[in-house]
Amino acid sequence: MIARLFNFRGGVKPESHKNESSTTPIAPVVLPPRLVIPLRQGARSAARCVVEVGQKVRKGERIGEGEGFLGTAVHASTSGTIIEIAPYPMAHASSLDTLSVVIEPDGADEWIEHGPFDLRSVPRDAVLKYLRDQGIVGLGGATFPTHIKLGNGRDIDTLVVNGAECEPWITCDDRLMRERAAEILSGVTILRELIGAARVLVGIEDNKPEAIAAMRESAAALSEPIEIVPVPTLYPAGGEKQLIRVLTGIEIAHGKLGTEFGVQCFNVGTAYAVHRAIRHGEPLISRVVTLTGNVEHPGNHEVLIGTPVESLLPLARPKSGTDRYLTGGPMMGIALGNLSVPTTKGSNCVIAASRALFPPPPPELPCIRCGSCARACPASLQPFELYWFSRAKNFGKAQEYHLFDCIECGCCAFVCPSHIPLVDYFRFSKSEIWAREREVTAADQARDRFEFRNFRQEREKDEKAAKLAAKAAETRAKLSDTAGGDAVADEDPKKALIAAALARAKQQKAAVAQATAEAPGGDAPATTDASREKAKLEGSDATS
């Protein structure tokens, strides 16, 4: 057991609302009328479409190949026919469209051929490539590609498994640990083997006693020691850096990663997905999603990736008074502007909101610089300063105050007495900075293309001039030989070429004259190639 736990700075204690949805088992998959599977499952994970409209696909078949360094594969969640490949709204605050593959299920739910993957018979890089092809990403919300995170793991001493689930209302990880603890720990042992960690710590908030008991029971049956550690309930204890701090005392510095300190962190849902991929050969095509809020039947459901939110609502039966829906928790989630958006690998919760559960925020008031936000910030930032710089669009100064260290947990907005939506300002600043960086990059690329075009044109001009000079030198040499050694070194190359052509014409004329004289009758042809070439050259010389 761990000798002691550590504290992280800041944090808040909102009402958890966990019991509403954590008391019933995970409900099995319900097949929707159609699946809309985005080829972009997160901000970092993109895929290139490899299927066509009208194509029949089976469950688990790859429909998108990982594109770019952070890309991971995307698969069909069930068998059926691809009826459309088109942009559809994604579950994002912007509600922008992203290219998606629409599948009409055939009801057979027919799997592709699949089976266990023997990770000990192949090199480590082959295992990481296999996880990439299976579409395994982090299921804690960020959807960071697991193969990249594992690939960065070198000299790792401690593997931290995140079962804290600190966000209010969300209980999908809680139910997963209660019901599938053995499978989670199977995935943990695989992760441990891939990064070579000597120690494994599973952090679970102490408001989940059933999950702690189930995980400890499964861990006791393993030959390798895995420590199940209850941590104090304090939001955001589930943040990666915060949980590492609580369990190990290691403070991850600004701009650094846990791997640089010998520690790596994965979510329990990710460990379960790794288990399914390695032990059963199944790609990531479903996940547990919490349906809660102002509903008659809150609970957790196994949901196929690509299931529209509107197809999930009948399972929970929203009550009257529901005025909007949130995806994610109330602290870091976003309001859905369109219920046709599909669930993705990062979707962990859908909340039916009402004015009774989530009263509309009071009007925003001026900042009084009370410092409450700074005291609550778990990243040790000064949110009130970042607010002023963001509001003034002084993005350079905001970056100086470590804007990108903000994890957007919402603690600052939660305690703000002026009801300022601070996180919205920070997201705005980040998006503006990213947009300007993209513009600068595009301008740099355009300048590089322009400069290379000029360089290429100059190079081609020089090459043409060199070829012309070489040909002129060759011609002068021939003329020098013909003239008995009198070279015309200073003659213009164009004139030299004309002179050479005239000389050839004279030679041809002499040859024709000789042939005519020797021929019977002595009749000369009306026109010859020599005469035609001479006429052309003389005409060209006259015009010049």
At 56, give phi and psi (nearest 5°).
Answer: -85, 135
Number of CB atoms found within 10 A of residue 249's CB? 11
Q: Are 390 and 427 in contact (CB under 8 A)?
A: no
Beta strands at 97-105 and 158-162: parallel, antiparallel or unpaired: unpaired
Longest dimension (CA), the chain: 123
Q: Are 102 and 85 in contact (CB under 8 A)?
A: yes
69 half-sphere exposure, CB direction, 13 A CA radius: 4
| Alpha-carbon dihedral angle through residues 376, 381, 382, 383, given to the nearest 10 degrees | -70
| 10-residue mean pLDDT series, the chain (544 residues) | 79 93 92 93 82 96 90 94 93 80 95 93 93 93 87 83 95 97 96 93 96 96 92 93 93 85 94 97 96 96 96 94 92 88 93 93 93 94 95 94 92 95 93 89 92 93 87 75 52 67 81 76 50 51 45
Number of CB atoms found within 10 A of residue 379's CB? 21
| Strands across the sheet containing 227-231 | 227-231, 199-205, 158-162, 263-267
Q: Given this model, what pLDDT does residue 487 score?
A: 46
**Geometric angle at alpha carbon 149, from 144 and 152, rounded to 5°:** 145
Q: Which residues contact 57 (CB under 8 A, 6 or more apart)?
A: 51, 63, 76, 79, 80, 81, 82, 103
Give the Cα separation of 188 and 270 in Å (integer).
9
Beta strands at 62-66 and 74-75: parallel, antiparallel or unpaired: antiparallel
Residue with tokens 């011609």: 475
Q: Are 206 and 174 in contact (CB under 8 A)?
A: no
Q: Are 62 and 75 in contact (CB under 8 A)?
A: yes
Give the Cα separation of 308 and 277 in Å (integer).
24
Give the Cα separation of 160 and 199 in Å (integer).
9
Q: Are 165 and 270 in contact (CB under 8 A)?
A: no
Nearest to 176 by CA among 272, 304, 265: 272
Three-class DSSP category at 174: helix
Give the Cα separation of 512 and 518 in Å (integer).
10
Q: Given this model, what pLDDT does residue 154 score?
A: 67
Three-class DSSP category at 52: coil
What are the C-alpha distances in Å from 295 to residues 226, 331, 352, 355? 38, 19, 7, 13
Give the Cα separation of 277 and 134 in Å (integer).
7
Beta-bridge partner residues of 104: 81
Number of CB atoms found within 10 A of residue 361's CB? 10
Cis peptide before 225 (omega within 30 of 0): no
Residue with tokens 């999950």: 211
Give 279-282's long-range contacts (Cβ < 8 A, gap of 24+): 279/116, 279/186, 280/114, 280/115, 280/116, 281/114, 281/115, 281/116, 281/117, 282/60, 282/114, 282/134
415 phi-psi bin (left φ>0, alpha ψ -120 to 50, beta other): alpha
Helix axes 124-133, 181-195, angle to 10 degrees: 140
Beta strands at 227-231 and 263-267: parallel, antiparallel or unpaired: unpaired
Give the Cα separation of 168 and 292 in Å (integer).
11
103-126 per-residue burial string, b: 16 or more CB within 10 A, e: under 16: bebeeeeeebeeeebebeeeeeee
Q: Which two tokens stand for residue 420?
A: 């300022």
> Alpha helix (H) ranges present in 180-223?
181-195, 209-220
- How much is the pTM? 0.81
Beta strands in 90-157 (DSSP E): 97-105
Q: Which residues contact 77 (CB under 8 A, 6 or more apart)?
A: 35, 37, 59, 103, 285, 286, 304, 305, 306, 307
Sign of CA dihedral 274, 278, 283, 288: negative
